[in-house]
Amino acid sequence: MISMLMFPWLNYANSAQYQNKTALRDDLQGEVFTWPQLAQRIEQTRLSLQRQGLSMGQGIALCGKNSLDLLCFYLAGLQLGLRVLGINPAFPVEKINRLCELNDISLRIDFSSSQYHCRRLKNSAKDDRTFTLTEGYTMTLTSGSTGLPKAAVHSVNAHLANAVGVSELMRFGANDSWLLSLPLYHVSGQGILWRWLQQGGELVLPQADFYASVIGVSHVSLVPTQLQRLLSYLAKHPNKFVCTKHILLGGSQIPLELTRQANRLGIQCYSGYGMTEMGSTVFAKESDETAGVGLPLKGREYRLVDDEIWLKGAGLAEGYWIDQKIRTLTNKQGWFQTKDKGQWLNNELVLLGRLDNMFISGGENIQPEEIENIIQGYELVNQVFILPRDDAEFGQRPVAMIQFNLDADTENNFKSAVEKLKIWLSDKIERFKQPVAYFPLDVEKARQEGTIKISRNLLKTELMTLLGK
């Protein structure tokens, strides 16, 4: 039997200290909920799931963008002891169906802006399960580079343990508010949710004017592109009152100039490193002039083995869901091998890139992220990605797909910016690591099926098109 004490929303609803406190604000619908009101809404959702004939251990899939309904189904599913899988609604129908099949999903719930629709995938006769689960678990799809992504399985306690370290670093407490700025099917969105639940603060669902909601909360999680747009928004609305004091950044390289601009506005940015298997952020620090990601947060442990980052501790998943079982994701020593390359430098972790991104040019190892980090230091660069291009003489050579911060993004301006960058770069990196060609980076096109991260695989496909292959 699941203990109700493990669910923070119930604890807050029954606490004299929190009963009258705002738990959630839905800016889009103009609704405000105290903890008892929210707990009642979640309970109603739990009962509706129960009426679907669902029982402990079965799986539900939530397919949609963030909404109050989706949030309530997420929490109600856990309270009922279900496995809750988030799916990106931008995925093709065939992929959604296959993911539901692989993860033993009994009920899929599709959300639109104003309603939801439940679709039963298995009847009771087919729910002869070979697994035994004693509590609700989240299932979060990893961003695997090939094939269908695996689902990392987390307990409620693992999510709450992950939340502690981030909340301490960013000084997030019961009197603060955090915007649900990232999707719940992504581990970064769930990280926001569990920090809110761990601290008993206020969660805000954004209104149609997203950046108006950003400046209306104390804490927010953004990717660099969103921070860039926020700064542009504030430049256009200089008289807007800004409540935001803390921004957690992730998703790609973080341009120093962006964090400097935010700091001048009184906003502290934080540079983080995390992953799905660890429940979100693992390392983080206040953004500064160095390229590292700081120290491990509370409860996390790390080890560097042949330059590979190994992790364990707070937030580690129970395993991957494979063949109706939770399969361990740790090695024989009890560590999760990330396939990320790093080094310890000046008392912080410095990320050197993915081990599987490296390629060889003329017998020399090329780590794309090393070149990207250097080019990112050029003041006109917003984002850059280095990719290999086949070469008859050297095997492969590095080329750059790059987005400049230009007033007018014309072909002549791009060519001019590239020439200036080449001069700037000439004495900052070995000649064989310097890109042999430059192409414009289309950030929106590079995001795979609505995810917040840029896909190197999509960029490689785009590069082949540009090269006429």
Q: Provide the residue ranges of all domains of the chain, joining segments of one domain with +.
A: 1-354, 358-466
As a whole number of angstroms, the distance between CA 314 and CA 337 comes to 15
The first and second tokens of residue 60, run together, are: 């539900």
Counting beta carbons within 10 angstroms of the beta carbon of residue 431, is it exposed (0 to 12), middle (13 to 18) or buried (19 or more)? exposed
Question: What pLDDT digit, counting tens, does each position of 271-321 carry?
Answer: 999 999 999 999 999 999 888 899 999 999 999 999 999 999 999 999 999
As a whole number of angstroms, the distance between CA 115 and CA 392 comes to 56
Query: 330 near 336, Cβ under 8 Å?
Result: yes
As a whole number of angstroms, the distance between CA 258 and CA 287 comes to 10
Question: What pLDDT digit, counting tens, does each position of 359-412 carry?
Answer: 888 778 888 988 998 998 898 898 899 999 988 888 889 999 999 987 655 667
Supply the pTM of this predicted model: 0.83
Residue-by-residue pLDDT tens, the chain, 469 positions: 344 457 999 999 999 999 999 999 999 889 999 999 999 999 999 999 999 999 899 999 999 999 999 999 999 999 999 999 999 998 889 999 999 999 999 999 999 867 888 889 865 434 445 566 768 899 999 865 456 889 999 999 999 999 999 999 999 999 999 999 999 999 999 999 999 999 999 999 999 999 999 999 999 999 887 898 999 999 999 999 999 999 999 866 677 888 999 999 999 999 999 999 999 999 999 999 888 899 999 999 999 999 999 999 999 999 999 999 999 999 999 999 999 999 999 999 998 888 888 888 877 888 898 899 899 889 889 889 999 998 888 888 999 999 998 765 566 788 999 999 999 999 988 888 999 999 999 877 776 555 567 778 888 888 888 887 6
As a whole number of angstroms, the distance between CA 217 and CA 224 comes to 18
Please choose, from the candidates 201, 202, 180, the residue with its C-alpha nearest in 3D space to the C-alpha of residue 192.
180
**Topology of the domain covering 1-354:** Rossmann fold (3.40.50)
Angle at which helices 35-51 and 68-79 cross, to 10°: 70
CA 280 to chain centre: 7
**What sign does the CA torsion over 24, 29, 30, 34 have?**
negative
As a whole number of angstroms, the distance between CA 78 and CA 55 comes to 11
As a whole number of angstroms, the distance between CA 162 and CA 133 comes to 22
Architecture of the domain whose range is 358-466: 2-Layer Sandwich (3.30)
As a whole number of angstroms, the distance between CA 131 and CA 20 comes to 41
As a whole number of angstroms, the distance between CA 370 and CA 272 comes to 18
Q: Where are the alpha helices (DSSP H) in 200-252?
A: 210-214, 224-236
As a whole number of angstroms, the distance between CA 176 and CA 160 comes to 17
Residue with tokens 């540009």: 466
